Structure 1
Amino acid sequence: MSTSERLTYLLEQARLRRATSAEYRELLQLISSDEQGEIVRLLDTWHGAGTTESTASTEYDHAYWQQAVKEILDADNSARQPVMLPVKNRIYFLQRYWWAAACIILLTAGAYYLSKQTRQPAVAVASPVKDIAPGGNRAVLTLSDGSQITLDSAGNGILAQQGNTRITKLSNGQLAYSGSGNPEGKILYNTMSTPPGGQYQLILPDGTGVWLNAASSISYPTAFTGNERSVTVTGEAYFEVVKNEKMPFRVKAGNTTIDVLGTHFNINAYKDEASINTTLLEGAVRVNIAQQQQQLRPGQQARVMANGASIQVVDHADISEVMAWKAGFFSFNDADLPAVMRQLSRWYNVEVKYEGRIPQRVFTGEIGRNLTLSQVLKGLTKTRIKYRIENGNRIIIQP
């Protein structure tokens, strides 16, 4: 097999996320020794751009790519802790090879544009500012009387009593409810809220597990009574619902209601996203809007647009991309720049603004959520994304 054929194979394996760790290392070695611009020409072919003549004359900055790879490899070693994560039914040490994913982001987004644009001087970034740490387990619990408990700083053990229900912070950091509710029969409600840069786990009174992503909330009764279990969600949450046919589980999010018997599913209902997405991992759910409803099978995703006019069903949702946040990483599959920045904004608690036209870039790859903001932004500069940071927490994306 020729070098060109081998490079084609490795790029395709990486693009499809099928490459082994050894293949990633081999690809990186080929990138570093790519004197003739084979990568740029192959990406041109994938994007269907140009003719043989134009491709052959493509300018290729070998020194630029060598430096790009070197900077990725020289990133803070403390961020490369091995974490086992499922991706496309394969197991990778994501943090150990996060640089490989970053290289794929560079390849799929950066090289193509670099090959089509006149070379610009190196990107000038604003003066160094204090780095921003990644998010963590942070949340606030609002009790039925309006009082609040900051969960990340609260000690383990019983935190409060709501009627006959005890609220306990477990040794693993989860919040759990146990008991029989209010002896007077009055339904008491609690709300757990995560700030930007926060996430948290909760065990509801019926044993249902809930994982909240950043800038999200869930409101629920301290004990489930009557003929249904009903909760309200904003932002993003993953549920593992305990089955109880006599008391169906119901989730309300914006203009969408999800009816559940017992199942695992994720709901993304951020207000700044174009749709409310419900993705089913196992079991069965029914998504309802106005007078329309749609039953989902495992692997399907229901999308409800902001106007709530209809339900669009995706038959083969990318489960690994949907569940990446819960597993501890970002996953992008042909995501545009605003989609990437919305996720970074929530996790690092930063504001994102754009000056002029938004750069047209497409990003594919996975990066751990335990990296600092500067480490993540370093990858953006390799795709000729120019930015500056103001007031410590505002990212300005420039033309």
Structure 2
Amino acid sequence: MQYLMERYFNDTCTAEERQELAEWISEAGHDDDLKAVVAQTWERFHPADQMPDEVSARIQAALFSDEKLRVRSLYRWLAAACVLLLAVGAGLFWLSKSEKPAPQVAQHNRYKNEVPAGGNKAVLTLGDGTVINLDSAANGVLTTQGRVRVVKLANGQLSYELEGQADGVVLYNTMRTPRGGEYRLSLPDGTIAWLNAASSITYPTAFTGDIRDVKITGEVYFEVAKDAGKPFMVEAGKMKIEVLGTHFNVNAYAAEPMVKTTLLEGAVKVSGGGRGDVLQPGQQAQLARNGDMKVVDDVDLEAVMAWKNGYFQFLDADMPAVMRQLENWYDVTVSYEEGFVPRRSFGGGIQRSLPLSKVLTILEENNVRFRVEGKNITVLK
């Protein structure tokens, strides 16, 4: 297995060896065994090209730290290896085998243009309807609303600073990220909210009542400031989440089949579909569009938080699920040639900083082909 892992790291595996390695990973009995092999391979690995320091640091952290969000399940230890493999031009997509090889068509004939990765982009709408484009706004005080100053920080974060006591006037702001954008927001109470692409959050400029209430769409990760006297309430479609101080992620994209709240730290009460549940760390509440809600245990937190940590992570994801993420992050439209959706299953991690062509090239290792024209991706039959 060490031999196969080293060949995989060096991108010299044959198709048969990749399959053998994949089967071993899926059948491995202990996380520690797999971790040891990956760690030993990493120690001996010397890439042909100089690796960026941040890539090396991320692999080191994933392999050797005991942080709460480290990879837990069997073949997910290779998420760390995947970051490395991306740096040297290889991918980690082996979970599905197609019925027949995809036709080989020269990439330059199919990729008519490049599409860059998304970045820090958002629009702020003030209570009076004024719209501020945060991409182009200079750092510093953007506006003053009552006794609250809205400040754009140098790190691309938006912050609210209260001068003295709140005057009781409640004004609501809305931050929206476009497709291809993400942004970080410090709410008036000190709660931090990270917005994924195509997401929004509506909130007051000061929390003056008995509760701290916000409303979201899309996907948002929260680190809630503790305040036992003022519960923090999130409304995401038909799901409501109540917390005092905790870390959790809410995925409420309209295109997804369900609204999902995943708890990382603390406890939250989730309501929806006529029932309420208190989540414990590692649990996820899933509210289907028909109103049915259930709680799932032992969720892969690394996969849930991949977007915030700068990469995509797919766990046995089908083609539409993968392409929905690419649509949001690269601001593209996906269609399927002759309406045919290939039956593929993808597993592994990809850096979100990569341009679209490199992401598609990695996905193409799984016997699927794409055509890119402007902002349109066609999945070829």
Length-normalised TM-score, structure 1: 0.79
Q: Percent identity?
A: 45
Cα 1:102–1:280 change in 2 (3 A) is farther
Aligned twin of 2:325 = 343
Aligned twin of 1:27 = 8
Aligned twin of 1:218 = 201
Post-superposition shift, 1:92?
A: 4.0
Is residue 95 of structure 2 the alignment partner of residue 108 of structure 1?
yes
Separation in 2 of the partners of 1:229 and 1:372? 39
Post-superposition shift, 1:243?
A: 1.1
- Contact 1:267/1:278 (<8 A) preserved: yes
* Deviation per residue, 1:8-48 (Å, 9 max, x gap): xx5xxxxxxxxxxxx4x44345x62649x354467689999
Q: Which amino acid aligns with 1:299?
A: G
Separation in 1 of the partners of 2:367 and 2:53? 24
Aligned twin of 1:185 = 168
Q: Which amino acid aligns with 1:108?
A: L
Q: Which amino acid aligns with 2:236?
A: A
- Contact 1:299/1:316 (<8 A) preserved: yes
Q: Give unmatched runs, 5+ long, in structure 2.
A: 28-46, 63-69
Aligned twin of 1:97 = 85
Q: Which amino acid aligns with 1:384?
A: N
Give 1:120-269 correspondences, 5 Å limit. Answer: 121-125=103-107, 126-179=109-162, 185-269=168-252
User: Tell me, what secondary structure is at the counterpart of 2:128?
Assistant: coil
Post-superposition shift, 1:380?
A: 2.4
Higher mean alpha-carbon deviation, 126-135 vs 279-288, is at 126-135
Post-superposition shift, 1:143?
A: 0.5
Post-superposition shift, 1:104?
A: 2.5
Post-superposition shift, 1:178?
A: 1.4
How many equivalent residue pairs? Answer: 346
- Contact 1:123/1:381 (<8 A) preserved: no
Aligned twin of 1:279 = 262
* Deviation per residue, 1:217-260 (Å, 9 max, x gap): 00000000111000000000000001111110000010000001
User: Tell me, what secondary structure is at the counterpart of 1:326?
Assistant: coil
* Deviation per residue, 1:143-193 (Å, 9 max, x gap): 011111111211111100011111111122211101169976331000010
Aligned twin of 2:294 = 312
Q: Give unmatched runs, 5+ long, in structure 1.
A: 11-22, 49-72
Post-superposition shift, 1:81?
A: 5.0
- Contact 1:334/1:363 (<8 A) preserved: yes
Post-superposition shift, 1:382?
A: 2.3
- Contact 1:163/1:182 (<8 A) preserved: no
* Deviation per residue, 1:343-366 (Å, 9 max, x gap): 111000000111232101111111
Separation in 1 of the partners of 2:82 and 2:175? 30
User: Tell me, what secondary structure is at the counterpart of 2:363?
Assistant: helix
Separation in 2 of the partners of 1:306 and 1:75? 48
Separation in 1 of the partners of 2:312 and 2:358? 13
Q: Which amino acid aligns with 2:12?
A: S
Separation in 2 of the partners of 1:76 and 1:358? 39
Aligned mate of 1:329, from 311, 336, 340: 311
- Contact 2:178/2:197 (<8 A) preserved: yes
Post-superposition shift, 1:108?
A: 2.5
- Contact 1:286/1:294 (<8 A) preserved: yes
- Contact 1:124/1:386 (<8 A) preserved: no
Cα 1:241–1:42 change in 2 (3 A) is closer
- Contact 2:83/2:349 (<8 A) preserved: no
Length-normalised TM-score, structure 2: 0.82
Cα 1:240–1:42 change in 2 (3 A) is closer
- Contact 1:88/1:320 (<8 A) preserved: yes
Aligned mate of 1:88, from 66, 71, 75: 71
Give 1:38-57 correspondences, 5 Å limit. Answer: 38-40=17-19
- Contact 2:9/2:81 (<8 A) preserved: no
Post-superposition shift, 1:200?
A: 0.5
Q: Which amino acid aligns with 1:346?
A: N
Separation in 1 of the partners of 2:51 and 2:317? 27
* Deviation per residue, 1:51-74 (Å, 9 max, x gap): xxxxxxxxxxxxxxxxxxxxxx99
- Contact 2:8/2:18 (<8 A) preserved: no
Separation in 1 of the partners of 2:367 and 2:154? 45
User: Tell me, what secondary structure is at the counterpart of 1:374?
Assistant: helix
- Contact 2:7/2:13 (<8 A) preserved: no
